[in-house]
Structure formats: structure tokens, C-alpha cells
Amino acid sequence: MKSKWEEKGGVLEKLFTFSDFREALNFVNKVGNIAEEHNHHPNITLQNYKEVLVRTTTHDAGNTVTEKDHLLARAIDGIE
């Protein structure tokens, strides 16, 4: 079952789980490229060797979730 983006405490977050470390690390790099394209940079945590937690908030809007975060989340969900 895939996790969903959740908004809590002014942050939009989602946990992605992969089959191994290499796949998780590859995903992190793809998220980084998308973040650069959007000029909107999430916090990315690689944990338990195959899980990636992505958390995004809009700092210049008082650390709240905005449309920028939702657009970034949709772009991240589009990673193949």
C-alpha cells in the first residue's frame, strides 16, 4: 500500500519505501532535480536504508503549506 501525502503541523510529508538502498538513493537524486526545477526545496531524509521521508513547507509564507508544496508533491509523485 502506498502512503499518501499528509499535512500536519504546517508541513506536507510522505514516506516512500523502496526495495533497497540504491533505489532509495536514486529517488533522492530525482527529487533533488525536481526541487531545483521548481526552485522549492524540501527536507529529504533517507532512513532505514530504503525509506525516504520527504517534507515540504513554504518558508516565505510563514512555514505553512501552500500551492507550491502541493505542486512539488505532485511532481515528486510523477517520478518513475
Q: In this predicted structure, what is the pLDDT of residue 59?
A: 87
Residue 72 neighbours by CB under 8 Å, 6+ apart: 34, 35, 38, 40, 42, 56
Go through the domains of the chain in sequence order and give each one's CATH number: 6-77 (3.30.1360.20)
Q: Are 6 and 12 in contact (CB under 8 A)?
A: yes
pTM for the model:
0.93
Q: Are 38 and 68 in contact (CB under 8 A)?
A: yes
Q: In this predicted structure, what is the pLDDT of residue 25?
A: 97
Q: In this predicted structure, what is the pLDDT of residue 1?
A: 44
Average pLDDT, 10 consecutive residues per value, the chain (80 residues):
85 97 98 96 97 95 93 94
